[in-house]
Amino acid sequence: MKEEALRSPDVPLLFIDGTRVHKSPYWQATERYGCRSYDIYNHMLIPGWYSDFVDEYWHIVNHVALWDVAVERCLEIIGPDAHRFTNMLTPRDLNRCAVGQGKYVVLTDERGGIVNDPVLLRLAEDRYWLALADSDATLWAKGVAVGSGLDVEVREAQAWPLQVQGPKSRDVLRALVGDAIDSVRYYWTLQTEIDGIPVVISRTGWTGELGFEVYLRDDASLGVDLWERIMKAGEPFQIRPTGPSDIRRMEAGIFNYGGDITLEHTPLEVTGLERMVEDQEADYVGKEALLRSRAEGVKRKLVGIEMAGEPLDVAAQDFWPVRSQGTTVGKVTNATHSPRLNKNIGYAWVPIELAGHGTTLEVEAPFGIVSAQVVPLPFFDPSKEIPKA
């Protein structure tokens, strides 16, 4: 996934600790359960892996896994003008987002650049949470609020998510909160308690599998208690803690902010994110730029590629050059081997004239030049039947 892909699972990662890099409410539990690698994400430690990437991938696909993703720091927007302000941050039309519903959204700057791509939850008429990818988007939103003239408060929520992912995830949640979980539709929420611990549960995740996110709210000191309750409820279903699966998220056509997409890219340039720019009367940051770009057409595209050769045993640590007819034309942002598809898959930025399905390319990987072909995204389950099941 990141640098840890180059390390043996037998060699634990050592890191320099300190108060500047924060620990999650679940950190003690992740240590006790044998986490072997941590990365830094949103100024916090995120568990990387416990066993190895392929083993954890298959466990997520076949059973159920628990992830500490408290690093998805929640931007909270509250106040009388919360809805109007939140709608200003994204080209998605939040007038179509009911209370209790969630949306995958992009936040855009004045040029249409992607500031972040969070999962948004509308918890009340005047309360939104946005679970952020790795960036300082809360500071950006606070800056927008200062100049907006709207009656709104922008802050970091007292909320820390866990992900419960895999085909048995609903069984685990049913053991914790009862049959109420059965009525939670894809991208909808449930506000409840688990043994007196207040939580928000959303049917979302970073896998493309059936899955849920459980947000501990208000009291971070209850983090280990919540973790242990989920692990206990999951014992009959073979629950294990794992790291976030880069393999599974790529199969599902999910992007990693900061690597695949950045502030320098617009949603119109990313395969699958064009739909985020919805037609609406309301104004939002970047609207003029995005509408102009849509009318003129984009000059580049982030596409899915399949690569020939032996199965990749490491993820891309740097951007791999992409060539066409001997000329460098773009770059691979991420690549991995899909055990289920038995293919090497990846994402690549290419000129729009080379973005069509079936286009042949060459990739300059560290181990040599390999042929590649542009293919549709997502690579697996394009209609999302699995997470919607």
What residue segments make up the domains of the chain, in order of their start? 251-380
Q: Which helix (H) or strand (E) holds 372?
A: strand 368-375
Residues 6+ apart with CB under 8 A from 292: none
- Output DSSP code: residue 345: E
**If we measure between CA atoms, which residue out of 115, 121, 125, 138 comes closest to residue 203?**
121
pLDDT < 70 positions in the chain? 1-17, 314
Predicted confidence at residue 376, as pLDDT, reads 98
Fold of 251-380: Elongation Factor Tu (Ef-tu); domain 3 (2.40.30)
**Contact present, 118 and 133 (Cβ < 8 Å):** yes
| Separation of alpha carbons 40 and 47, rounded Å | 9
- Look at residues 175, 92, 186, 173 and name the one whose alpha carbon lies nearest to residue 130: 92
- How would you class 318 by CB atoms within 10 Å of its CB: exposed for 0-12, middle for 13-18, buried for 19 or more? exposed
In contact, 294 and 340? CB cutoff 8 Å: no
Contact indicator for 290, 277 with CB cutoff of 8 Å: yes
Beta bridge partners of 316: none
Interacting residues of 255 by C-beta distance below 8 A, sequence separation 6+: 117, 261, 270, 273, 302, 347
Q: Can you give the pLDDT at residue 6?
A: 37
**In the block, residue with structure tokens 């907006």:** 148
Sign of CA dihedral 243, 72, 208, 4: negative
Phi, psi (5° rounding) for residue 74? -95, 120
Question: Order of strands, edge to edge, in the sheet holding 197-202?
Answer: 189-194, 197-202, 211-217, 159-165, 64-68, 239-241
What SS3 state is found at 302?
Answer: strand
What's this model's pTM, rounded to 2 decimal places? 0.94
Give pLDDT, residue 214.
Answer: 98
Is residue 249 a contact partner of residue 206, using CB atoms and an 8 Å limit?
Answer: yes
